[in-house]
């Protein structure tokens, strides 16, 4: 059997650590089904796991991940659309109360689109998918001569989160529930290197830190 040894090892650790502690929770979830209140739309990037970032237990988050945490505008054209299907299921079947769009630093898909580099190529899936961020590019101020590439990409990563929030509102099921106050949309941005989390403040039109004091304390804590 050619199953990855890393996964077998991880599963053995799960059996000796988490399962004994959470077995009751797993049985409860199996019998009554899932009822998460929060959907997280995140990136496929292996460095940004919503369950890890938010220290979530099984059953707490309904997570949909794709390249660059994007959601296409509402388009019921009969095509198979995994992101739209996940969204519809979360909103209409699970009746989540919150949707969080979680962007992050050093996003490979956004960097590739901005610089027109690999893994993009004409006609491939990634290239066509990343074209979804073009409206965000068009709305942003152009890159200044004295602006670093990293600063520009950070602006684009955050702008794509805001664009996804706008695209979510094109879905009737989302728009109606947001209007009724039964569903709330949130934007967030995770710094991979430092582990900081910012959330989008619509009134200020900017991302602001969460748990700033705790984050500073965590960075200052001694490493053994």
List, in order of start, the domains of the chain with CATH numbers. Answer: 1-33 (no CATH), 36-220 (3.40.1050.10)
Query: Where residue 224 falls among pLDDT bands split at 50, 70, 90?
Result: low
Lookup: tokens for 119: 């893994």
Q: How many whole angstroms separate alpha carbon 174 and alpha carbon 165? A: 11
Average pLDDT along the chain: 92
Average pLDDT over every residue of 61-87? 91
Contacts of 136 (CB under 8 A, 6+ apart): 156, 159, 160, 162, 163
Query: 152-164 burial string, b = 16+ CB within 10 Å, else e?
Result: bbbebbbbbbbbb
Q: Cα angle vertex 175, ends 170, 181, to 5°? A: 155
Using one digit for the tens of pLDDT, what is the confidence trace for 86-122?
Answer: 999 999 999 999 999 999 999 999 998 888 766 666 6
pTM above 0.85, yes or no: yes
Q: Are 144 and 101 in contact (CB under 8 A)?
A: no
Rounded to the nearest angstrom, the gap between the alpha carbon of residue 127 and the centroid of all alpha carbons in its chain is 19
For the chain, the residue count is 224
| pLDDT score for 145 | 82
């Amino acid at each position: 059997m050619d199953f990855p040894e890393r996964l077998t090892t991880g599963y053995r650790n799960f059996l000796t650590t988490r399962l004994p502690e959470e077995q009751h929770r797993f049985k409860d979830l199996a019998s009554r089904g899932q009822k998460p209140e929060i959907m997280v739309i995140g990136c496929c990037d292996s460095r940004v796991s919503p369950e890890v970032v938010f220290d979530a237990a099984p059953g707490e988050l309904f997570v949909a991940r794709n390249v660059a945490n994007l959601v296409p505008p509402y388009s019921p054209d009969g095509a198979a659309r995994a992101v739209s299907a996940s969204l519809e299921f979360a909103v209409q079947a699970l009746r989540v109360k919150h949707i969080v769009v979680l962007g992050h630093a050093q996003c490979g898909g956004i960097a590739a689109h901005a610089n027109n580099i690999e893994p993009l190529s004409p006609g491939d899936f990634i290239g066509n998918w990343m074209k979804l961020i073009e409206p965000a590019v068009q709305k942003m101020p152009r890159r200044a001569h004295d602006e670093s590439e990293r600063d520009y990409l950070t602006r684009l990563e955050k702008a794509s989160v805001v664009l996804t929030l706008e695209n979510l509102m094109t879905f009737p099921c989302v728009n109606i529930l947001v209007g009724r106050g039964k569903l709330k949309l949130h934007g967030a941005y995770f710094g991979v290197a430092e582990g900081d989390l910012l959330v989008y403040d619509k009134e200020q039109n900017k991302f602001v830190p969460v748990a700033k004091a705790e984050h500073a304390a965590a960075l200052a804590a001694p490493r053994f």
